[in-house]
């Protein structure tokens, strides 16, 4: 059993770490605390450097124009980029990520959506959640009715992240009410400027990146707007969420590592009552607990990425790491803020922003309780091994 990363992944991870330390972290002190998008000149400069270093579209297969390093390479770079606020922003310059359903795109769809997204020329928002359907995605009420030349979509979507700034939406709708999740849900590609799309309201949440509520009123989409096969939208959405959960876990690793780095450094420089914080056992235990939890989350996340790369089904593992890593990062951030005291609560440091963002991630893409239910259900059905076999 060898837990060593392949040489090429170690190298790209090293490149990403050096880049983040030299070009991303220094920007934090000059940005507004709740910024959403980098100034265009800074964003474009970073994108150019990222592409030159081969850090763009790391996990995208070469056949689609990516680096082709698979899930392991993606997690390695994602972990490093998320050690900075620049890397955890919604429109991070570490771009070129492609939602897995788009790999089912037709040649026309690739030219119109996939390749522009890969080049960083377009933005996309995923519209699945509804007022009455969150974790229970099979309960969505948005419908798509087939007509002579296409489909007519009606419904309301909620919590589509920054859909108001997207160029197109990936909309999940019911095409067969009888089958629903078993072949009755379809995914559509819909341009933002399509008649009938209305951003009903901006939903401000704890983190700077806002969500939206969208009205879809008689939105017409041609046959070319169907992504993949009719009736396979639920399956593709689940594939999308598996990658999303791996991405979230990697993000949590980077954030937690930076928070722990900052906590360690602060305990070595801060004195109270004539003694460094690093000499106090209470704080030493906080550091030790953070390290142990981070170590466990990292092993779980990389194993899940490895399984996906091997073509195995990592849905249960994705639930494990999404639940464990978000709760781990929340605790590590909480301890780091506590160690920093008053300055940890301030917007002078990235800790309080990350604390809010991680709190959102404990709900988004499935709350912890749903993932625990998924894991428990598999355990009770005897589908999970309790050891190495």
The pTM (predicted TM-score) of the whole model is: 0.95
Check whether residue 270 and residue 357 sit in a common domain: yes
pLDDT of residue 37: 94
Check whether residue 251 and residue 159 sit in a common domain: no
Coil, helix or strand at residue 144: strand
∠ CA 360-79-351 to the nearest 5 degrees?
50
- Largest separation between any pair of C-alpha atoms in the chain: 80
- The answer to whether residues 233 and 172 touch, using CB atoms and an 8 Å cutoff, is yes
Check whether residue 174 and residue 133 sit in a common domain: yes
Check whether residue 52 and residue 79 sit in a common domain: yes
| Residue 110 domain-assigned (yes or no) | no
For residue 180, what are its two tokens? Answer: 């629903």
Coil, helix or strand at residue 296: helix
Check whether residue 218 and residue 241 sit in a common domain: no
pLDDT in tens, the chain (389 residues): 788 999 999 999 999 999 999 999 999 999 999 999 999 999 999 999 999 999 999 999 999 889 999 999 999 999 999 999 999 999 999 988 899 999 999 999 999 999 999 999 999 999 999 999 988 888 999 999 999 999 999 999 999 999 999 999 999 999 999 999 899 999 999 999 999 999 999 999 999 999 999 999 999 999 999 999 999 999 998 888 899 999 999 999 999 999 999 999 999 999 999 999 999 999 999 999 999 999 999 999 999 999 999 999 999 999 999 999 999 999 999 999 999 999 999 999 999 999 999 999 999 999 999 999 999 999 999 999 898 76
Check whether residue 82 and residue 59 sit in a common domain: yes
Contacts of 170 (CB under 8 A, 6+ apart): 99, 101, 102, 124, 125, 126, 127, 187, 188, 189, 190, 227
∠ CA 178-183-184 to the nearest 5 degrees?
45
| Residue 119 domain-assigned (yes or no) | no
103 closest CA partner among 68, 79, 146, 77: 68
Residue that finishes a domain, picked among 209, 227, 245: 227
Q: Looking at the 3D structure of the chain, how many domains does it have?
A: 3
pLDDT of residue 1: 79
Check whether residue 189 and residue 308 sit in a common domain: no
Please indicate whether residue 352 is annotated as part of the active site.
no
Q: What is the C-alpha to C-alpha distance for residues 104 and 93, in angstroms, rounded to an integer?
A: 25
Backbone angles phi, psi at 311, to 5 degrees: 80, 10
Check whether residue 93 and residue 131 sit in a common domain: no
Check whether residue 214 and residue 302 sit in a common domain: no
For residue 35, what are its two tokens? Answer: 């910024």
Check whether residue 375 and residue 292 sit in a common domain: yes
- Looking up residue 248, the CATH number of its domain turns out to be 1.20.140.10
| Residue 325 domain-assigned (yes or no) | yes
pLDDT of residue 389: 66
- Looking up residue 75, the CATH number of its domain turns out to be 1.10.540.10
Give the range of the structural domain holding residue 26, as residue numbers without chain letter: 7-98
Q: How far is CA 164 from the centre of its chain?
A: 19
- The answer to whether residues 118 and 160 touch, using CB atoms and an 8 Å cutoff, is no
Backbone angles phi, psi at 297, to 5 degrees: -65, -40
- Looking up residue 185, the CATH number of its domain turns out to be 2.40.110.10
How are beta strands 226-227 and 185-191 bridged, if at all? antiparallel
pLDDT of residue 136: 86
Catalytic-role residue among 80, 97, 308, 365: 365
Check whether residue 286 and residue 364 sit in a common domain: yes
């Amino acid at each position: 059993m060898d837990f060593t990363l392949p040489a090429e992944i170690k190298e790209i991870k090293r490149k990403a770490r050096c880049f983040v330390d030299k070009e991303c972290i220094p920007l934090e002190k000059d940005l507004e605390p709740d910024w959403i998008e980098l100034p265009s000149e800074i964003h474009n400069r970073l994108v150019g450097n990222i592409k030159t270093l081969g850090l763009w579209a790391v996990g995208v297969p070469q056949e689609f124009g990516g680096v082709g390093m698979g899930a392991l390479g993606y997690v390695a770079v994602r972990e490093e980029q998320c050690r900075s606020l620049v890397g955890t922003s919604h429109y991070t310059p570490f771009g070129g990520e492609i939602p897995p359903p788009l790999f089912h795109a037709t040649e026309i769809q690739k030219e119109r959506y996939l390749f522009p997204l890969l080049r960083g020329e377009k933005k996309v928002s995923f519209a699945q959640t509804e007022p009455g359907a969150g974790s229970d995605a099979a309960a969505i009420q948005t419908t798509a009715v087939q007509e002579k030349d296409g489909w007519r979509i009606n419904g309301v979507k909620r919590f589509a992240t920054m859909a108001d700034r997207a160029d197109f939406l990936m909309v999940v709708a019911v095409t067969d009410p009888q089958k629903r999740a078993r072949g009755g849900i379809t995914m559509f590609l819909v341009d933002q400027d399509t008649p009938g799309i209305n951003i009903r309201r901006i939903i401000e949440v704890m983190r700077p990146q806002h969500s939206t509520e969208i009205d879809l009123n008689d939105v017409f989409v041609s046959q070319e707007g169907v992504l993949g096969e009719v009736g396979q939208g639920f399956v593709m959405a689940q594939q999308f969420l598996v990658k999303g959960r791996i991405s979230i876990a990697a993000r949590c690793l980077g954030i937690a590592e930076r928070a722990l780095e900052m906590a360690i450094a602060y305990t070595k420089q801060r004195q109270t009552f004539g003694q460094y914080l690093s000499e106090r056992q209470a704080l030493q235990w906080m550091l030790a607990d953070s390290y142990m939890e981070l170590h466990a989350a990292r092993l779980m996340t990389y194993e899940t990425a490895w399984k996906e790369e091997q073509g195995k089904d990592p849905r249960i593992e994705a639930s494990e790491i999404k639940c464990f890593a978000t709760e781990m990062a929340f605790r590590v951030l909480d301890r780091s803020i506590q160690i920093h005291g008053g300055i940890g609560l301030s917007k002078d440091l990235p800790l309080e922003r990350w604390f809010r963002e991680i709190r959102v991630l404990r709900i988004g893409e499935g709350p912890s309780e749903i993932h625990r239910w998924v894991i428990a259900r598999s355990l009770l059905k005897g589908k999970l091994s309790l050891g190495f076999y």
